[in-house]
Amino acid sequence: MKHSKKMLTVLSCLLVLTGCGKGNVAPQKVGVSTQQGGMDNRILDPKIINQDVLLQRGDANVELEQRGYRAQDVAPSTNGSIKILSGNHELVQVWPNPSIQPKEGSYAENVVSQAAMFYGTPYEFSSDRSDPSTFDCSDFTRWVYLSSLGMDLPKDSRSQASYVQSFSNRTYTSIDQAQRGDLLFFVSYKGTDPDQYIGIDKSIGNITHVGLSLGNGKIIHTASAATGGVRIDELANNHLTYRFVLGGSLLNTK
């Protein structure tokens, strides 16, 4: 019964993500339905998030928690550019597996469809990067791209942001420019008031959260156990807006 309910939830997510399931109305790439937060409003409720240590921490220092941690596992190839990060980590550029066909003519649709399949997956800080049964924020985005397109991204949000900054041809600092399949990066939660983010250092080194844009002002991401694991939320006029640092495409690259 529990498995059936989970599958129904996933199927519902897929329908709203692809714009299907609306009678004779033509499919529209509008991201998701009007259901904020997928099923609830927990990620915007101060009574919950002001006490939510995991949400406030994000994936900060996750690299210190992982035994044998490397920013990126893929080996350098003759087709890949390499950038050196602090800590002697290397960033290796990756591309979609050529054997994978784009859905509806766009690899972004492969990414969004796969993200929907992970909807509701439980949250775990410093989750096992080899096991997609639980996620923290950066493990989720990495697994979405790995399982949908065969692209093995870096393992933490700061390294993923550096990857986007190094290799993407389309980056931005205004959240209004987010498109389907983009990665979106945020600093730590400080509160629900925009004034609490005035003067905050929004450099890559202070990024602690990442999610995946669904377009139309929506994000699919995972922030904590208390907020329900992988979920869908609005981006406009809330703490996610105030925390936003950088966004960019992994599919429009240099």
CB 174 within 8 A of CB 248: no
Tens-digit pLDDT profile for residues 90-105 = 788 999 999 999 999 9
Nearest to 183 by CA among 253, 131, 242: 253
Q: How far apart are CA 179 and CA 68, in angstroms?
A: 34
What is the DSSP pairing of strand 183-187 with strand 244-248?
antiparallel
The predicted pLDDT at position 195 comes to: 98
Q: What is the mean pLDDT of residues 199-206?
A: 96
Choosing from 13, 89, 221, 239, the catalytic residue is 221
Q: Which of 3, 20, 89, 137 is catalytic?
A: 137
Q: Which of 3, 13, 20, 209 is catalytic?
A: 209
pLDDT at residue 119 is higher than 90: yes
Whether the model clears a pTM of 0.85, i.e. scores above it, the answer is no
* Distance in angstroms (rounded) separating the CA atoms of residues 101 and 7: 25
Predicted confidence band of residue 34 (pLDDT cuts 50, 70, 90): very low
Over 50: is that where the pLDDT of 144 sits?
Answer: yes
- 137 is known as an active-site residue: yes
Closest CA to 212 of 167, 166, 164: 164
CATH code matching the domain that covers 42-62+93-249, chosen among 1.10.10.10, 3.90.1150.10, 3.90.1720.10, 3.60.10.10: 3.90.1720.10
